[in-house]
Amino acid sequence: MSDSLIIAVPSKGRLKEQVEAWLADCGLPLHAVGGARGYSAALEGFDEVQVRLASAGDIAAALAAGEIHLGVTGEDLLREQGELDGGQVMLLAALGFGRADLVVAAPKSWVDVETMADVEDVAHLYLARTGRRLRVATKYVVQTRAFFARHGIADYRLAESGGATEGAPAAGAAELVVDITTTGATLAANGLKPLSDGLILKSEARLAASLGADWDGAKLSVCRRLLAILEARARGRIIASLTWPANQDAEARAAVAPFVAAGEAPRAHGVLVARARLFAAAAALAAAGVGPVSVTRPGHVFHAKSEAADHLASAVAPAKS
């Protein structure tokens, strides 16, 4: 059993760049260990953390297997492991980048096929005419089966894709595809169109925890400290602080009372508000004759508790030593 909290992050590509930028923005820059081509890194300020660099797919598999404690990868890959929703992996935070859609796509030449109901009709006809089931090329076997079952489609078979899935119909290897797309441009370039109700998942990068890893009290404590920083930075991106003169505190608090009642947080001679409501709160203060009012944008806003950390600790409680 390792004494370190093990976190895995992507080792290459755009997602690697985005994860590194996110951590640096949170005040937690990564430093490569063993040179630029190494497969480990250090997280500044966390000597108790071991960072592994791996492919996005391997991170999802390692989380499901309990080989790492935390990982950052796409939700599409996590769900393909089939370990979410009561399984061995817990989603802790959506990160707002790495967005992509997992979709069912058909050839553009199939002008009468626009929905999953149309696919069901075509599948019946294809089986009756050829004696074979409609082929669906995909790397996302688990999610494809579940989605087709929800739509009552049974007359198909999966053609697992090891290469460029979107090229399967043109190569004669499949009739439909289920694939990930960001803009739809690659599908279109291969003569394919997403079905109108063929969206399986709107995916993005997620911070996730393995419930099967070797958690103990010390590792949970490190995880809680790390989550506090990540969550505080997420709040800091969307919150502004208004401060008013101390001698107008009573009038100011009356003016912002509706905002506090709606969930905004009061502070000494001021209030923390969502940036979307900043100008409305400032206008309410001005209408009450309060001023001057200054606005600051905090880098981090820490709360006393982390729901994600509490949820994780509760889920792995039997494993704690």
224 part of a folded domain:
no
Percent pLDDT > 70 in the chain is: 97
36, pLDDT greater than 70? no
Pairing, β 265-267 against β 270-274: antiparallel
Identify the band that residue 35 occupies on the pLDDT scale cut at 50, 70 and 90.
Answer: low
What is the Cα–Cα distance from 31 to 275, expressed in whole angstroms?
A: 33
Give the angle 112-114-119 at the CA atoms, nearest 5°. 85
The structural domain count of the chain equals 3
User: Do 108 and 123 share a structural domain?
Assistant: yes
Alpha helices in the chain (DSSP H): 13-25, 56-65, 75-80, 116-130, 141-150, 185-189, 217-238, 249-261, 278-287, 307-315
311 part of a folded domain:
no
User: Do 85 and 210 share a structural domain?
Assistant: yes
305 part of a folded domain:
no
CA-wise closest residue to 70 among 19, 12, 14 = 19
The string of DSSP codes covering 298-321 is -S----S--HHHHHHHHHTGGG--
Identify the band that residue 26 occupies on the pLDDT scale cut at 50, 70 and 90.
Answer: very high
C-alpha 88: how far from its chain's center?
Answer: 17
Residues listed for the chain? 321
User: Do 197 and 209 share a structural domain?
Assistant: no
37 part of a folded domain:
yes
User: Do 73 and 143 share a structural domain?
Assistant: no
- Residues 109-168 have pLDDT tens digits of 999 999 999 999 999 999 999 999 999 999 999 999 999 999 999 999 999 887 789 999
User: Do 104 and 198 share a structural domain?
Assistant: yes
User: Do 290 and 144 share a structural domain?
Assistant: no
- Residues 279-316 have pLDDT tens digits of 999 999 999 999 999 999 999 999 999 999 999 999 99
User: Do 46 and 83 share a structural domain?
Assistant: yes
Identify the band that residue 37 occupies on the pLDDT scale cut at 50, 70 and 90.
Answer: low
User: Do 82 and 210 share a structural domain?
Assistant: yes
160 part of a folded domain:
yes
Give the angle 132-136-139 at the CA atoms, nearest 5°. 140
319, pLDDT greater than 60? no
278, 242 Cβ separation under 8 angstroms: yes
End-to-end CA distance of the chain: 12
Residues of the domain holding 247: 238-296
What is the Cα–Cα distance from 19 to 196, expressed in whole angstroms?
A: 32
User: Do 192 and 143 share a structural domain?
Assistant: yes
Mean pLDDT of the chain: 94
User: Do 292 and 168 share a structural domain?
Assistant: no
Determine the pLDDT at residue 87: 85
Give the angle 139-143-149 at the CA atoms, nearest 5°. 125
Determine the pLDDT at residue 164: 86
- Indicate the pTM of the whole model: 0.91
203, 76 Cβ separation under 8 angstroms: yes
Percent pLDDT > 90 in the chain is: 91
42 part of a folded domain:
yes
315 part of a folded domain:
no
1, pLDDT greater than 60? no
- Residues 63-104 have pLDDT tens digits of 999 999 999 999 999 999 887 877 899 999 999 999 999 999
At 86, which CATH number? Answer: 3.40.190.10
User: Do 66 and 208 share a structural domain?
Assistant: yes
Sign of CA dihedral 212, 216, 220, 222: negative
Q: Name every residue whose Cβ is closer than 8 Å to that of residue 167 and which is 6 or more positions away in sequence.
A: 190
User: Do 192 and 104 share a structural domain?
Assistant: yes
258 part of a folded domain:
yes
CA-wise closest residue to 63 among 173, 105, 72 = 72
Question: What are the phi and psi torsion angles at 274 (to 5°)?
Answer: -60, 140
